[in-house]
Amino acid sequence: MARCATAVLVAVVVAMLVATPHINATISCEQVVIWLTPCISYGIFGGKVAPECCSGMKALNAAANTTADHRSQCQCVKEGAARIPGLNYTKVNELPDICGTHCPYRLTTDLDCSKVN
Ligand SMILES: *[C@@H]1O[C@H](CO)[C@@H](O)[C@H](O)[C@H]1NC(C)=O
Ligand SMILES: *[C@@H]1O[C@H](CO)[C@@H](O)[C@H](O)[C@H]1NC(C)=O
């Protein structure tokens, strides 16, 4: 039952994230959401980081390699994160280190994506 409830929660969160307005860029917000959805559980509950989360982050970093990509990805992640109740930004910011990858910005509620490079 717990697994089922988690699946429902994740589906709801994904639905909320996908509702985020679109921004013109080479990578879509939907794609960013698909890659990062496996990371949401760690950002809320902690525990083990899903391998899918790390592979998603790496895929995102490989695809988003320009300033414009980083900014649109930032806006997508920021708006999406703001809709997730209970998300711990400290934990989210641990993820790039845990996964051995990097992120061009640190997620905060007042992050200014137009300054991300
Ligand atoms: C940036 O990403 C594009 C598309 O994913 C890729 O074709 C290109 O080789 C990448 N450039 C660098 C410098 O990694
Ligand atoms: C968020 O996560 C950090 C690091 O795991 C923890 O120290 C902090 O207490 C958490 N904050 C909340 C509000 O749960």
Check residue 28 and give its pLDDT. Answer: 93
Distance 27 CA to ligand 2 centre (A): 31
Does residue 4 lie within any of the structural domains? no
Does residue 10 lie within any of the structural domains? no
Does residue 1 lie within any of the structural domains? no
63 lines ligand 1 (CB under 6 A): yes
Number of domains in the chain: 1
Distance 91 CA to ligand 2 centre (A): 7
108 lines ligand 1 (CB under 6 A): no
Check residue 27 and give its pLDDT. Answer: 85
Cβ proximity of 51 and 101 under 8 Å: no
59 lines ligand 1 (CB under 6 A): no
Number of H helices, E strands in the chain: 6, 0
Check residue 11 and give its pLDDT. Answer: 60
Query: Which residues, 6 or more positions from 37, have their beta carbon under 8 angstroms from its beta carbon?
Result: 10, 13, 14, 17, 56
Share of the chain above pLDDT 90, in %: 76
Average pLDDT, whole number, for the chain? 87
CA distance 53 to 95: 9
Does residue 3 lie within any of the structural domains? no
Does residue 11 lie within any of the structural domains? no
CA atoms within 13 A on the CB side of 25: 23
Does residue 2 lie within any of the structural domains? no
Check residue 16 and give its pLDDT. Answer: 58
Q: Which of 49, 87, 91 to mutate to test the pocket of ligand 2 (most atoms within 8 A of CB)?
A: 91
Q: pLDDT under 70 in the chain at which residues?
A: 1-25
Does residue 49 lie within any of the structural domains? yes
Cα–Cα distances (Å) from 34 to 10, 55, 107, 110, 112, in that order, read: 11, 11, 18, 24, 23
The pTM for the full model equals 0.76
Structural domain boundaries, residue 53: 18-115
Check residue 47 and give its pLDDT. Answer: 97
Does residue 13 lie within any of the structural domains? no
CATH number, position 84: 1.10.110.10
